[in-house]
Amino acid sequence: MKTYHILIAVTLILLGSLSLAQEFRTPRHAVNLPRGEAANLPFSDAVMVGNTLYISGRGGIDFKTMKTPDDPKDEAKLMLDGFKSILATAEMTMDDLVFVTVYCPDLALYKVFNEVYRTYFSKDFPARAFVGSGPLLFGMRFEMQAIAVR
């Protein structure tokens, strides 16, 4: 009988803990920009959880035409401008980025990318990985994902 009461007490404590955890769960919300033809893709541009913004992979693609610019510098600029827009929507700036991953199928474009990338920051750069990848969607040369903290 005593074991039965202990089992009931433990069960009630666990259920109460789960209920309490749900009450204090950090709210999250999507941050999205107009995406033209890509509007029906099954992801958010970014998700804000507390003071942290998780930004989905994004490339330098014109969402009206679903094409990338011919010049890799223009493509990098278009991609980074998209990041600036997402961050602005979340009332943040490029300087709020803390970690970035860049995917690129052609590592020979590393220097070209860095030339454009460095112009988007006014203070310390975020931690970053530049990863050689296989082909990217829509023939993109660059795709970047990031984490920003307010």
CATH number of the domain encompassing residue 78 = 3.30.1330.40
The whole-number pLDDT of residue 99 equals 98
In-domain check, residue 8: no
The whole-number pLDDT of residue 129 equals 98
Token digits of residue 9: 């007490």
In-domain check, residue 137: yes
* CB half-sphere exposure, 12, CA atoms < 13 A: 6
In angstroms, the first-to-last Cα distance of the chain is 54
In-domain check, residue 69: yes
**What mean pLDDT is predicted for residues 63-84?**
94
**What mean pLDDT is predicted for residues 62-90?**
94
Which range of residues forms the domain containing residue 89? 28-149
Is a pLDDT exceeding 90 seen at residue 128? yes
In-domain check, residue 6: no
Q: What rounded mean pLDDT belongs to the chain? A: 86
Count the domains in the chain.
1
> Please, are residues 132 and 74 in contact by the beta-carbon 8 Å criterion?
no
In-domain check, residue 16: no
The whole-number pLDDT of residue 41 equals 77
In-domain check, residue 12: no
In-domain check, residue 22: no
